[in-house]
Every structure is written in C-alpha cells, then in structure tokens.
Amino acid sequence: MSMLEIRNLTKIYGKFTALDDLSISIGQGELHGFVGPNGAGKSTTMRILATLMPPTSGTALIENVDVCRNPRRVRELVGYMPDFFGVYDRLKAWEYLDFYARCYGFSYRERMRMIDQLLALVNLSDKRESYVDALSRGMKQRLCLAHALIHDPHLLILDEPASGMDPRARAEMKDILRQLKEMGKTVLISSHILPELSEMCDSLTIIDHGKLVFSGSVEALSRRMNGNAPLEIRLLNEGQVEAAVPVLKEFPGVSGIVLTDAQQLNVSFDGDDEAAALLLKTLLLRGAAVLDFHRAPMNLEKVFMEVTQDD
C-alpha cells in the first residue's frame, strides 16, 4: 500500500491553474523530494495534503484516507511544516512545544518526556530555555519540525525546510531526516533546488507550472537524464587517438568527436548502455588503449533547467 496517493489533483485560483491534474504515489518509509521552481505549485499541493485548503478537483489519499472526505483523520496521520511561520513573543522553546502538546491533550508527564525527546531529535536540547524569537532561522525551522512531530504522524510534509540554510544547517537537517527515516516515517520534502534534495532523497517528483515533469527514483532520473550525456573517453596516450578516431567515426550513433586535450575525447553518442559497452569493446579490439570510458557526469542544475524550461 502506498503511504500517499495523489490523484489528478487540480487547483484553480480564480482563473489561474496552479495545479494541473497532478498524480503521484509515494511508498511507506520513503524520503521523497518534491522539486520545482518558485510558483510551480509545491506549497499549494502541500497545503491541500495538510487539509488546509480543498482542491478544485481530484484528491489525495494518505494511508487510504481521503483528504477531502476525512480531513480530521488525515490530520492525525500528517505532520505539516509550513514554508512560513510567524514569530512568538515571550515563549521559550519548551513552552512553545508544550502549548501544542496541551492542544493534543497529553498529560504533564507525557509532555515533559516528549518535549525532551523532540528537542533532542532536532538538536535543540541546549535551547530548551531560550526564547523562540531569539533563535536563528535554522533553529526556528527545527523547532517547527519538532512541533510537526508532536502527535507522532506517519507522514511528514516539510515545505522548503532547508531554504535559506547555510551548509552546516543543511547537513544538520539531513541528519534529522535520516533519523526520521529510521523511525519509520515517510517524508515529503520540497525545495526549488534539485541537487539539495537528490543527495538525501530516495525518490523525487519534479513539477513545473503545476504539471508533473518526473516522478521516480533518483537512479531513474539519472538514467533518464544521463541517456544522452556525451561519452568521455580518455586514452592511454596521444598516440592512441589515431587508433580510436576511425572506429568512432564509423560507429552507429556517434555524431560528434571533440578532442578536449591531447588524449581525451568527448563523443556525442546517441545509444543506450548496451551500445556504449559495444563501442568500448570495439575500440579495444581495434587496438585503441582506453584508460577511462564513461558518460559525462550529470549536472543536476542543468537537468533542472532543461526539464523546467520557460514556455
């Protein structure tokens, strides 16, 4: 059973279509990245999942519970961290969590135990007595994450939790996400920066202008994007170029050969992995000493720009 099933979700604000027939499925325990440029519809999707706003049409199921039909039950299953949160006057970190824990009706003993655990999880134990408005942005974000975890939800929806963080704070967030995964939580996390998520997520969805561009594993994305990446072929020495070039020129699928330095070739190649393996074998059989043979590494920033081009 999937943890989250988004079905033909559409949201129209006035005359503007912010989400256009979006369907995504996320498995239990997955750490799923939700990527798209600003205005793509990420926050809109997440607000609908958190039952803060109804869709225009379509729906989403969380553990088979419909967000439109049974929002109360969905709220028990979902922990939501918004992209924007207000300021809190004269509240200490622990009091902030205590306030929400009281809303859920936990006893004093339960609350004190839970607050200690949550503060430890988000690395804020030493800020227990600090006032919330005196915390750094990254700390406030982590406190909000602790808040989203109070009722022990199965699915966490985190709207751009790493935006505006420095590398150190991002590493800390990454570590917290890893712990959540170990706890068995399913996480949907958004960002407008693809590389930021691809390194920490199991799977990804990319949307643009409210439409699905890609949804699947990080490997599947790499494979799809890497399919057309040029081959970088490094030869043992300059002398090998003479042996290699004629083979390349007559090989099906090779459309361009550029000598990038004395012993390295950059080859445009329109063939799958099997064809690439055959090309390597042919080069070797025809006497070209190949030192290194690989697809040019995927530049995620570039991929993102390509898949989310302006229309």
Ligand X SMILES: Nc1ncnc2c1ncn2[C@@H]1O[C@H](COP(=O)(O)OP(=O)(O)O)[C@@H](O)[C@H]1O
Enumerate binding residues for ligand X (CB under 6 A). 13, 16, 18, 36, 38-44
**Smallest distance from ligand X to CB 199, Å:** 20
Encoded tokens for 121 = 């999880």
Nearest-10 Cα torsion for 195, 200, 205, 207: -40
Judged by beta carbon, residue 213 or residue 243, the one nearer ligand X is 213
DSSP E strand stretches across 161-210: 186-191, 203-208
User: Which 82-141 residues touch Mg ion, going by CB under 5 A?
Assistant: 83
Distance from C-alpha of 204 to C-alpha of 221, rounded to nearest angstrom: 8
Judged by beta carbon, residue 13 or residue 85, the one nearer ligand X is 13
Residues 6+ apart with CB under 8 A from 160: 42, 83, 190, 191, 192
Judged by beta carbon, residue 38 or residue 255, the one nearer ligand X is 38
Encoded tokens for 209 = 């202008």
Report residue 170 CA to chain centroid gap. Answer: 13
The interface partner of residue 82, options being ligand X, Mg ion, none and the CB cut-off 5 to 8 Å by kind, is: none
**Smallest distance from ligand X to CB 215, Å:** 15
SS3 302: helix
Judged by beta carbon, residue 47 or residue 127, the one nearer ligand X is 47
**Smallest distance from ligand X to CB 158, Å:** 12
**Smallest distance from ligand X to CB 285, Å:** 51
Judged by beta carbon, residue 17 or residue 264, the one nearer ligand X is 17
Judged by beta carbon, residue 83 or residue 95, the one nearer Mg ion is 83
The interface partner of residue 58, options being Mg ion, ligand X, none and the CB cut-off 5 to 8 Å by kind, is: none
User: Which 216-255 residues touch Mg ion, going by CB under 5 A?
Assistant: none
* CA nearest neighbour of 148 among 138, 156, 140: 156
**Smallest distance from ligand X to CB 184, Å:** 27
Dihedral (CA of 180, 185, 118, 147) sign: positive
**Sole binder of Mg ion in the list 26, 32, 43, 215 (CB under 5 A):** 43
Encoded tokens for 158 = 């985190």
- Binding piece for Mg ion, criterion CB under 5 A, among 49-57, 75-83, 121-129, 194-202: 75-83
**Smallest distance from ligand X to CB 99, Å:** 27
Judged by beta carbon, residue 194 or residue 235, the one nearer Mg ion is 194
**DSSP-assigned letters across all residues of 28-54:** TT-EEEEE--TTSSHHHHHHHHTTSS-
**Smallest distance from Mg ion to CB 163, Å:** 9
- Summarize the chain as % helix, strand, coil (round to 5): 40, 30, 30
What residue ranges bind Mg ion (CB under 5 A)? 42-43, 83
